Amino acid sequence: MMGRALIQADVDSERARRVIVNLVLAIAAVVFLYPMVQMLVDSFKSNTEIISNPAGLPIDWTLASYADVLSPHRSLLRNLFNSIVIAGSSTALAVLLCAFAGYAFAKFSFPGRDVLFGLLLMTMMVPPEVIVPGQFILFARLGWINTLQAQILPEMTPILGLFLIRQYMLTIPDELIDAARVDGAGQVSIFLRIILPVSSPVLSAYAILHFLHVWNAYLWPTLVATNDAVKPIMVALPELVDPLIGFLPIYGTIMAGCVLATLPLAIVYFIFQDKFMSSVTIGAVK
């Protein structure tokens, strides 16, 4: 009887623990999802209604805010295209360059390799705001202010990406590379046919992180993109104001723009979701 009582007590304790954990997770999910749900709901309100009814359901459901976003005089579609170009190209270049550098630091021996890698890691401790003035002066002298390349180039060589990819490539067996060399494969062939496919989980995972980082960037694009023609969507949206009053934000249009700006992020995540999750599990196992 005592044994059964102890077993039943353990079962009840486990059930109570699961209920508490599930309850906490449910509350956390509601807290995290509420802003996105409210953003979606507010996008179906008019700019007038959203001021008087900011938190409730729309009284009059309307697509006027989406029509305003997509209207030719807003140029928000151009800003959205700018964000896609900036985030997409910088992500592709960053992943490729970090893969090259990570392979070199992980599998090649050269004088000063560890010292150089340590110095690169030390730059991660420097606040980004510290280097903004110097970067701005550099791009101003190059005549690249109000250009897309001024927003792409600073994001091409992220040290965090180098660190993550290099650490993953260290786990690739050297015997795999030696076998390819015995078969007559050159360095380029080894990198393209062996290293990149084997490293696809970490490359995909970092591609998601980098794309999100560049897409949501605000400080640097605000400084170097003052022309509406080259502004990304995240800089253009907060600047939307009522054309008559001049200073009052048009929140309905802003919410509709935020919904459209979120779609590329969701698409990128779902495309790389399997690779991202596999990288998490592989890292946990290793």
pLDDT in tens, 236-277: 888 887 766 667 778 888 888 888 888 888 887 777 777 666
Phi, psi of 53 (to 5 degrees): -135, 70
Co-location of 22 and 102 in the same domain: no
Residue 56 lies in a domain: no
For residue 285, pLDDT beyond 60? no
Co-location of 25 and 90 in the same domain: no
Co-location of 11 and 107 in the same domain: no
Name the region of 94 (left: φ>0; alpha: ψ -120 to 50; beta: rest): alpha
Q: Percent helix, strand, coil in the chain (nearest 5)?
A: 75, 0, 25
pLDDT band (50, 70, 90) for residue 1? low
Residue 226 lies in a domain: yes
Helix axes 159-169, 76-107, angle to 10 degrees: 40
Co-location of 150 and 256 in the same domain: yes
Tell me how far apart the alpha carbons of residues 7 and 246 are, in angstroms, rounded to a whole number: 70
Nearest in space to 90 (alpha carbons), one of 161, 155, 158: 155
Residue 177 lies in a domain: yes
CB atoms within 10 A of CB 235: 23
Residue 214 lies in a domain: yes
Q: Which pLDDT belongs to residue 286?
A: 46
Co-location of 183 and 117 in the same domain: yes
Number of domains into which the chain is organized: 2
Co-location of 14 and 148 in the same domain: no
Give tens-digit pLDDT for 214-237: 999 999 999 999 898 899 999 988
Residue 167's alpha-carbon distances to 28, 61, 196, in angstroms, are 32, 51, 14
CB 221 within 8 A of CB 234: yes
CB 87 within 8 A of CB 215: yes
Co-location of 38 and 81 in the same domain: no
Question: Which domain, by its residues, includes 38?
Answer: 2-42
Give tens-digit pLDDT for 83-126: 999 999 999 999 999 999 999 999 888 898 889 999 999 988 88
Residue 69 lies in a domain: no
Co-location of 110 and 32 in the same domain: no
Co-location of 11 and 134 in the same domain: no
Tell me the average pLDDT of the chain.
85
Which residues have a Cβ under 8 Å from the Cβ of 15 and sit 6 or more positions away? none
pLDDT band (50, 70, 90) for residue 284? very low
pTM (predicted TM-score): 0.82
For residue 283, pLDDT beyond 50? no
